[in-house]
Amino acid sequence: MPELPDVELYKRYLDQHALGPTIERVQVNDARILGELPAKTFVATLSGNRFEDSRRHGKHLLVRLQRDGWLTLHFGMTGSLAWFRDEADDPPYDRVRFDFAGGGRLAYVNRRMLGRVGLADDAERFIQAEGLGPDALDPAFDLEAFNRAIEGRRRDVKSVLMDQSLIAGIGNIYADEILFQARLHPKTAVTALIERQRAELFAQIKRVLETAIACGAGAEQFLERLPADYILPHRDKGGKCPRCGGPIATLKSGGRTSYFCPRCQPEP
């Protein structure tokens, strides 16, 4: 499932290719991805328009249009973007496609239909309506803001990290790495964290996400690009902890699997 680092890579990809040229044609191949938004409205808004700028908030990519607000992209479990020129290169599961002046085409690809493509009048209002907390890499999201976000949460630290209404951008995969780097067991209660542990956890949120982006790694792709002392590339069966060499353990909760090292991240 795409997480903050994946969406940051999609943002850079879109910026590199699709900012500027006029959208000559909009093709909606599967209107379900638009939810309740009529395909006709979507096509009318984007045809002849331009992508002027983009911003990412958590796992959402928001593209500012030359007129009429913003295009919003959420990638669900399997979404991505593809840029190509030749129509024959149009990838499978292309749900929405933009054809630009100059011959480039941008496809929003999503095998499963769990993502969403939409329109918004205003980016801030959209973020609010989606109930998203601060973006994990926003410079304004500092240690103080982090402490406020997790204060009094009577849950385990992993589910709090993944709660998009508290902090936007972290999913199941990167929560595991952040907890491994912070040497915290996924079941640690937030209320049990001492000040030093909170500060370390906060520092690792920033460090791990920034490192993933710098390495060009996402949550599903290119995990092998991560540093050698990261746990994520070692999650396959029989994987060994890159720090102590011990076996990596798994823990199932809420339909998701956590990977951790029981020695480096002892049970609280």
In Å, how far are 2, 11, 28, 74, 98 from 33, measured between CA atoms?
17, 19, 9, 10, 15
The footprint of Zn ion on residues 234-253 (CB under 5 A) is 241, 243-244, 246
CA-CA distance, 176 to 212, in Å (whole number)?
13
Q: Report how many residues bind Zn ion under the rule CB under 5 A.
A: 7
To the query of whether residue 87 is one of the catalytic residues in this protein, the response is no
Token pair 């096509």: residue = 43
Residue 97 annotated as catalytic: no
**Minimum Å distance from CB 230 to Zn ion?**
12
Per annotation, catalytic residue among 56, 59, 97, 158: 59
Tell me how far apart the alpha carbons of residues 81 and 117 are, in angstroms, rounded to a whole number. Answer: 12
CB-facing half-sphere around the CA of 157: CA atoms within 13 A:
31
Measured from the CB atom, is 166 or 231 closer to Zn ion?
231
Q: For this structure, is 59 an active site residue?
A: yes
Considering the complex, state which of residue 108 and residue 259 has its C-beta at the smaller distance from Zn ion. Answer: 259
3-class SS of residue 7: helix
CB of 187 or CB of 243, closer to Zn ion: 243
- Nearer of residues 11 and 185 to Zn ion, judged by Cβ: 185
Give the helix/strand (H/E) hosting 71: strand 70-74
Q: How far is the CB of 244 from Zn ion (least distance, A)?
A: 3
- Binding mask 201-240 toward Zn ion (x if CB under 5 A, else -) reads ----------------------------------------
Q: Is 18 exposed, middle or buried (0-12, 13-18, 19+ CB in 10 A)?
A: buried
199 CB neighbour count, 10 Å cutoff: 15
- Residues 49-88 close enough to bind Zn ion by CB under 5 A: none
Please say if 256 is a catalytic residue: yes
Q: How far is the CB of 239 from Zn ion (least distance, A)?
A: 11
Least Cα distance to 262 among 180, 181, 197 occurs for 180
Of 192, 224, 263, 266, the one binding Zn ion (CB under 5 A) is: 263
Contact in structure between 5 and 209 (CB atoms under 8 Å): yes
Position 184 contacts Zn ion (CB under 5 A): no
Q: Among 80, 91, 71, 88, which Cα is nearest to 29's? A: 91
Instruction: Name the minimum Å distance from CB 264 to Zn ion.
Output: 3
Distance of closest approach, residue 268 Cβ to Zn ion, in angstroms: 16
Among 71, 106, 201, 264, the residue binding Zn ion under the rule CB under 5 A is 264
Q: What are the residue numbers of the active site?
A: 2-3, 59, 256
Q: Which residues contact Zn ion by CB under 5 A? A: 241, 243-244, 246, 261, 263-264
